[in-house]
């Protein structure tokens, strides 16, 4: 079996790591195509080196642009690559513009497409990720769902016959790296200046278009973080830096200590060393849950609703209007045990079994 994986943005590289490792154990040809949607070293290269992912076979170097430009350029660049490879499966990941472009290029060439992390929904049609997920699920031939909830969404959209529950590959990688960090196999994370790793601190990230692209909203979110009584390690995505500079918004103030995005193991270590997480990232909400730290999510909804049970994760769309914002963001970890809604850490192997079983 020959499979082409199409990736381009940071969260896809995290999901690629366990998949590439599982392919390496099998008699399969795995071709990695990097679209170049993310090009900063901190968002791309360190994930390949840090997670032991083989270098991409093809790099398209697409870079930034409006949604249409970025998706269109990727689509055009992928056509000849997929035509030359003619794989048994094109595997697309998550919900980025690279995911949608990969899916369109493949279906137009009658190449079977499998969507990893299928069936997630925010039901917020203003999110670019929601368009990408819905369109990808409806175009793909095989839907690899991470959770029962995702399976229910797919069934509700008439896609049950194409769907398989495989579990979440992010559990595979998160727990493996957690164990390595706890064994001391990784250097200490480079936390922002001013964060004492021995004292309580929060980990924060902010990058979603809904939060960064409106100056008033971004200002309110940054003010709320700066007002917290606990130091906040703000690991800044380039989009957050670009937008705050554009709006003349100072990030390094009050409780906030700004640093670069961390490599994956560094992020796991930073979360393990923290008293909690405040974020708008999907992946980080789940990592906080898997690592047992309370999470506060600066959004109106979450695709990972399982984290919301027992107060492990709380949605706070507007911190400045929330009377107990400080108490919420600094609340201790709940005592309730966490279940295993995201699977047993062997999802990547199940993905490969499912691809083999459904091969044309
Ligand atoms: C993308 C995904 C989002 C995912 C996120 C993870 C889409 C629609 N969104 O958002 O779902 O959660 O990746 O990080 O695909 N930039 C750089 N260097 C880079 C990459 C981006 O400076 O390496 C800056 C550019 O100013 C660019 C902006 O960030 O215009 C947005 O980048 P883009 O890849 O379009 O989306 P993300 O916000 O990273």
Confidence (pLDDT) at 264: 97
Closest ligand 1 atom, CA of 70?
Answer: 35
Name which residue sits closest to atom 3 of ligand 1, judged by CA: 96
Nearest ligand 1 atom, CA 99: 15
Q: State residue 255's pLDDT score.
A: 98
Going residue by residue through the chain (360 aa), what tens digit of pLDDT does each one get?
999 999 999 999 999 999 999 999 999 999 999 999 999 999 999 999 999 999 999 999 999 999 999 999 999 999 999 999 999 999 999 999 999 999 999 999 999 999 999 999 999 999 999 999 999 999 999 999 999 999 999 999 999 999 999 999 999 999 999 999 999 999 899 999 999 999 999 999 999 999 999 999 999 999 999 999 999 999 999 999 999 999 999 999 999 999 999 999 999 999 999 999 999 999 999 999 999 999 999 999 999 999 999 999 999 999 999 999 999 999 999 998 899 999 999 999 999 999 999 998
Please give the pLDDT value at position 128: 96
**Domain residue ranges in the chain:** 2-168+343-357, 179-329
**Ligand 1 centroid – CA 97 distance (Å):** 9
Order of strands, sheet of 142-145, starting from the edge strand that comes earlier in the sequence: 58-59, 29-34, 2-7, 89-93, 113-116, 142-145, 163-165
Class of domain 179-329: alpha beta
> Cα–Cα distance between 184 and 182 in angstroms, integer?
5
Catalytic residue among 38, 207, 237, 349: 207
User: 86 C-alpha to center of ligand 1: Å?
Assistant: 29
CA distance 95 to 41: 21
Q: What is the pLDDT of residue 268?
A: 98
What is the CATH number that goes with domain 2-168+343-357? 3.40.50.2000
| pLDDT at res. 124 | 95
Q: What stretches of the chain adopt beta strand conformation (E)?
A: 2-7, 29-34, 58-59, 89-93, 113-116, 142-145, 163-165, 202-205, 232-235, 256-259, 276-279, 295-297, 313-315
Helices 97-108, 128-139: crossing angle, 10 deg rounding:
20
- CA distances (Å), 78 to each of 6, 15, 40, 196, in order? 9, 20, 21, 46
User: Measuring from atom 2 of ligand 1, which residue has the nearest CA?
Assistant: 96
* pLDDT value of position 360: 85
């Amino acid at each position: 079996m020959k499979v082409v994986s199409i990736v381009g943005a940071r969260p896809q590289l995290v999901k690629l790591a366990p998949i590439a490792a599982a392919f390496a154990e099998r008699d399969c040809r795995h071709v990695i195509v990097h679209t170049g949607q993310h090009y900063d070293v901190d968002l791309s290269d360190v994930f390949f080196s840090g997670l032991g992912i083989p270098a991409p076979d093809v790099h398209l170097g697409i870079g930034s642009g409006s949604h249409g430009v970025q998706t269109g350029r990727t689509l055009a660049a992928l056509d000849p690559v997929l035509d030359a490879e003619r794989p048994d499966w094109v595997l697309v990941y998550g919900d980025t513009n690279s995911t949608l472009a990969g899916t369109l290029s493949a279906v137009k060439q009658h190449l079977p497409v499998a969507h990893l992390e299928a069936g997630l929904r925010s039901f917020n049609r203003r999110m670019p990720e929601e368009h990408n997920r819905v369109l990808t699920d409806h175009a793909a031939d095989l839907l690899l769902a991470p959770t029962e909830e995702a399976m229910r969404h797919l069934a509700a959209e008439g896609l049950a016959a194409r769907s398989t529950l495989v579990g979440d590959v992010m559990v595979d990688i998160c727990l493996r790296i957690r164990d390595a960090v706890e064994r001391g196999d990784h250097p200490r994370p480079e936390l922002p200046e001013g964060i004492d790793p021995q004292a309580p601190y929060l980990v924060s990230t902010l990058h979603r278009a809904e939060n960064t692209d409106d100056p008033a909203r971004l200002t309110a979110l940054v003010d709320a973080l700066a007002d917290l009584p606990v130091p906040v390690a703000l690991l800044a995505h380039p989009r957050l830096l670009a937008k705050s500079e554009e709006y003349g918004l100072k990030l390094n103030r009050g409780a906030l200590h700004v640093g670069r995005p961390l490599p994956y193991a560094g992020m796991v270590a930073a979360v393990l060393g923290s008293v909690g997480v405040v974020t708008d990232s999907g992946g980080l909400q789940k990592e906080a849950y898997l690592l047992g730290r309370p999470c506060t999510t600066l959004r109106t909804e979450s695709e990972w609703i399982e984290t919301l049970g027992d107060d492990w994760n709380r949605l706070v769309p507007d911190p400045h209007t929330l009377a107990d914002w400080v108490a919420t963001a600094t609340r201790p970890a709940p005592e309730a045990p966490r279940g295993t809604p995201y699977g047993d850490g062997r999802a990547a192997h199940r993905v490969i079994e499912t691809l083999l079983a459904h091969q044309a």
